[in-house]
Amino acid sequence: MSETEASQSMENKYPNCGGPLPSGVLAKLCPACLFKQGAVSDTGTQPEAAPFQPPGVEEVARLFPQLELLAFIGKGGMGAVYKARQPALDRIVALKILPPQAAGGPGFVERFNREARALAKLTHPNIVAVHEFGQVNGLPFFIMEFVDGLNLRQLEQAGQLSPRQALQIVPQICEALQFAHDEGIVHRDIKPENILVDKKGRVKIADFGIAKILGGRPDVASTETKGAIGTPHYMAPEQMEKPATVDHRADIFSLGVVFYEMLTGELPLGRFAPPSSRKVEVDVRLDDVVLRALEKDPERRYQHVSQVKTAVDTIASTVPPPPPPSGEALAREILAHGSDLDIVSCLRRGWALVRGDFWPIIGISALISMLWAVANSSGAIFSAGNGTTTAGGSLLGLLLSGPLMGGLSLFFLKKIRGETTTVETAFSGFSNRFLQLFLASFVSLVLVGLGFICLILPGIYLSVAWIFTLPLVIDKGLDFWSAMELSRKIVSKHWWKFFGFVIILLLLKMAGIVVFIIGFFIVAPIAKASLMYAYQDFFGAVARTANPAPAGFGPSGTEVRLVVPVKPPPSGSSVWKWLAPVIGCAALLLLSAAIIISIVVAKHLGRETAAPQAEASAIQDPAVSGETGATSRETLTERLEAASVITDATARNRSSAAVSIDAAKAGEVDLVKDSLRQISNLTDRVQAAHEAVRLLAKRGLRKQAIEIAKTIEDVNIRNQALSELAQ
């Protein structure tokens, strides 16, 4: 046999035992050899050594009296983890107990203390922090940062990882690894189980250096083969072949395996194909990044994990956003949501919003209204001076109407959602969707005018049916015609309620004008806020598409949104802090009496409209209606159970939110809490909780409403809900 043939023959055999090497094996790992060494089992069973049995919560509580043990989280190759609370510092922590077998090895105490001190110095946002370490009754332990979320393995099994989300996660992993490598620490066991994602989408790497402390003995998933430490499918080749030469580049190989698995859902075993050939939505440029990280020779890999981050960031910055869903798709989702219009609730919430942030809202609304009026007046004057028609002269007002009112709608929506708003928000219609806003305003005006000219009734219908057109254009990113059609479909389904709602809003504005013209600047923002609350009730559950945020992950395989850092408002916003009070104070000094009368009228209307609602709620109270209430509870329970098994996160959130609202209307507090816990999307959960609090308060269940209000994660919405309950 020639030397070349002999070399090829050896390449097709396992290096340790000389057995035949089949295709589909990573790093030439022989299952039989690993089985003999206690690393893996060819039957998938545990090794002969007795598995680590974690102590119970009560026993751990006795061993750690300084902690308040809350729950057992789980066990794995690196020990057992418990959720606990440190009363002295009033914080939730994770208590990790290492297997006692590890403490019996030679030199363990010295190795443990040395490595644990190094880990405690790893302070980085993407690394699980170590607060304390030591041994109690022969049990080595770590007290670490508690991460409320899931690991990548759980997210992969739930089918919640997409290539776009991988581009958000990998750079955070790279930052953590580069920081650790700069500190001279190699993880040695990068795998999906050790990469956590919290509810805000932040990545946290766990178990830094734990594999080195344990020597890889506690679990079949981890292996120690002639000094090799790690998990077979994620280990770099040198970790098996030359463990003494392992350096930080082994983590880069493991990261490449994790990245490949995130992109394709498969492991890079044997002669694997590039990621883009396995998944069509994978950017072909990622092939070079992943394949270079997976080079067998460390010298041919990336030499620093920061290079991986730079490559991924470059690709991610040029990936086009996904196309927004069509109006028809949004219509199907919203119509299936089963929302209903609560006129009284919208009016009361609109009044509460304006009252809670009075001067900025009044000032912005007055400024937009005056600009619109000036544009129309100047157009009329210009037309008279040039001998043209008045309609032609008001073209400037028509041109500005859509962007002005669209920006004002977005301003109120951001206020309702508790997002940051500045004076620039109210004028965002001139920089965001200007053409579509203009076309929406122009086409609506022309068609409504034709409807009034022809038979009047079509004009009335279209003027009501298209009330949500401008908010849909600027908030959802729809083109003007799709927004008009979507608004018409939703309004038509609840025609009489929306028709009555529009009449009430018009009467409010007329009342403000009749009392005094300045009163209009008080009542008009209340009407606008009420209308935007109705919009939020119907369209708020649908994800925004104009400026989409990448999805992240929360507990129990649920989806939340990654929190995108918000840039601080420009320094010019400080001018608005002075401008808003000046405009408001001027209006107050001109006609304080008109303001007082307008407020009294609004409050009186709110009390009158709330009374029939309270009567209806009392009639529907399960405690009074007997069997009807029992049937309602049974139906709600069945709906909640059905929603819990929906695999699509968006549909599950939508159905659970609907159940929480209906349960609040029926006064079923426990079902409200259960359904809210089932909502994974933070925005949907906050909105549903806020509405449930209001409905429970209407039924007289104020104490229960306060309890639920305290659990709202969004600070602004929570304060608003508690403020409403305190009235």
Q: Do both 542 and 458 map to the same domain?
A: yes
pLDDT at 725: 79
CA–CA gap between residue 249 and residue 186 (Å, rounded): 9
Q: Which is it for the CA torsion 628, 634, 636, 639, positive or negative?
A: negative
Tokens 């025609």 belong to which residue? 495
Return contacts of 370-379, CB within 8 angstroms, 24+ apart.
Answer: 371/400, 371/404, 372/397, 372/400, 372/401, 372/404, 372/405, 375/399, 375/400, 375/401
Q: What number is the average pLDDT over the span 33-39?
A: 38
List, in order, residues 6 or more apart from 569 with CB less than 8 Å away.
Answer: 420, 422, 424
Please, which pLDDT band fits residue 508 given cuts at 50, 70 and 90? confident
Residue 359 lies in a domain: yes
Helix axes 469-476, 520-539, angle to 10 degrees: 60
Q: How many residues does the chain have?
A: 727
**Greater pLDDT, 555 or 51:** 51
Q: Is residue 702 part of a domain?
A: yes
Residue 409 domain-assigned (yes or no):
yes
Residue 300 has pLDDT above 90, yes or no: yes
Identify the CATH number of the domain in which residue 275 sits: 1.10.510.10
Q: Is 86 exposed, middle or buried (0-12, 13-18, 19+ CB in 10 A)?
A: middle
Last residue of a domain, one of 320, 351, 375: 320
For the cut 60, the answer to whether the pLDDT of residue 26 exceeds it is no
| Residue labelled with tokens 């766990």 | 206
pLDDT at 46 over 70: no
CA nearest neighbour of 235 among 28, 49, 41: 28
Check residue 561 and give its pLDDT. Answer: 39
**Scanning the structure block, which residue is given the tokens 């899931």?**
150
Copy the structure tokens of residue 572.
């010019």
Q: What is the pLDDT of residue 328?
A: 66
Q: Is the pLDDT of residue 301 over 90?
A: yes
Tens digits of residue pLDDT in 334-345:
666 667 888 998
Tell me how many degrees the CA angle 72-73-75 measures, rounded to the nearest 5: 100
Distance between CA atoms of 35 and 214, rounded to whole angstroms? 19
Confidence of residue 291 (pLDDT cuts 50, 70, 90): very high
pLDDT at 172: 93
One domain, residues 434 and 405? yes
H helices then E strands: how many in the chain?
Answer: 34, 12
- 85 - beta bridge partners? 68, 92
Please check whether residue 66 lies inside any domain of the structure: no
Query: Which backbone phi and psi does 466 adopt, to 5 degrees?
Result: -105, 20
pLDDT for 55 equals 85
Given pLDDT bands bounded at 50, 70 and 90, which one contains residue 388? very low
Q: Which residues pair with 142 in a beta bridge?
A: 96, 133
The angle that helices 649-666 and 682-698 make with each other, rounded to 10 degrees, is 10
Strand partners for 432: none
pLDDT of residue 293: 93
Q: How far apart are CA 622 and CA 631, in angstroms?
A: 9
Angle at 406 between CA 404 and CA 411, to 5 degrees: 95
Structure tokens at 252: 């880069």
Query: Are 354 and 430 found together in one domain?
Result: yes
Question: What is the rounded CA–CA span in Å between residue 22 and residue 375?
Answer: 78
Cα separation, 169 vs 126, whole angstroms:
10
Q: Are residues 281 and 356 in the same domain?
A: no
What is the rounded CA–CA span in Å between residue 720 and residue 355?
11
Give the residue with greater pLDDT, 720 vs 327. 720
Tokens of 430: 């001139």
- Calculate the CA 633 to chain-centre distance: 30
Assess whether 279 and 342 both reside in one domain: no
DSSP state for residue 218 in the 8-state scheme:
S
pLDDT class for 322, splitting at 50, 70, 90? Answer: low
Mean pLDDT of 265-281: 82
Q: Looking at the structure, do residues 532 and 394 belong to the same domain, yes or no?
A: yes
Comparing 421 with 545, which gets the higher pLDDT?
A: 421
pLDDT at 264: 87
678, pLDDT greater than 90: no
Q: What is the mean pLDDT of residues 81-105?
A: 84
One domain, residues 595 and 692: no
Residue 203 predicted with pLDDT over 70: yes
- Joined tokens for residue 166: 């991988």
* Residue 664 contacts residue 692 (beta carbons within 8 Å): yes
* 199 closest CA partner among 141, 240, 260, 148: 148
**Number of domain units in the chain:** 4
The pLDDT-based confidence of 53 (bands split at 50, 70, 90) is: confident
Q: Using CA atoms, how far apart are residues 727 and 725, in angstroms rounded to an integer? A: 5
Per-residue confidence band for 378, with pLDDT thresholds at 50, 70 and 90? low
pLDDT band per the 50, 70, 90 thresholds, residue 531 = very high
Q: Annotate 228-281 with DSSP letters as a single string.
A: EEE-GGGS-HHHHH-GGG--THHHHHHHHHHHHHHHHSS---SSPPPHHHH-TT
Pair (349, 221) in one structural domain? no
Examine residue 634 and state whether it is found in any structural domain, yes or no: yes
Range of the domain at 17: 3-36
Shared domain check, 595 and 660: no
Q: How confident is the model at residue 86 (pLDDT cuts 50, 70, 90)?
A: very high
Amino acid at the residue 353: L
Q: Where do we find the tokens 């269940």?
A: 701
Same domain as 311, residue 430: no
Amino acid, res. 573: S
- Whether residue 390 is predicted with pLDDT greater than 60 in this model: the reply is no
Question: What residues contact residue 633 under an 8 Å CB cut-off, 6+ apart?
Answer: 622, 666, 668, 671
Q: How far is CA 583 from the centre of its chain?
A: 37
pLDDT at 547: 40
CA distance 280 to 622: 53
H or E element that contains 203: strand 203-205
Matching residue, tokens 């009335």: 460
Provide the mean pLDDT of the chain: 75
pLDDT tens digits, 348-369: 999 999 988 888 888 888 888 8
- Per-residue pLDDT tens digits for 227-253: 445 578 888 898 888 877 888 999 999
Q: What is the DSSP track for 363-375?
A: HHHHHHHHHHHHH
Look at residue 370 in the predicted model and tell me its pLDDT: 81
Angle at 277 between CA 271 and CA 282, to 5 degrees: 125
Q: Is 513 among the domain residues?
A: yes
pTM as predicted = 0.45
Residue 629 domain-assigned? yes
Tokens of 244: 């003494």
pLDDT tens for residues 455-480?
A: 788 889 999 999 999 999 998 888 88
Question: Do residues 595 and 636 share a domain?
Answer: no
State how far the Cα of 641 lies from the Cα of 648, in Å rounded to an integer: 15
Residue 129 lies in a domain: no
Tell me which of 581 and 663 has the higher pLDDT: 663
Note whether 363 and 305 are same-domain residues: no
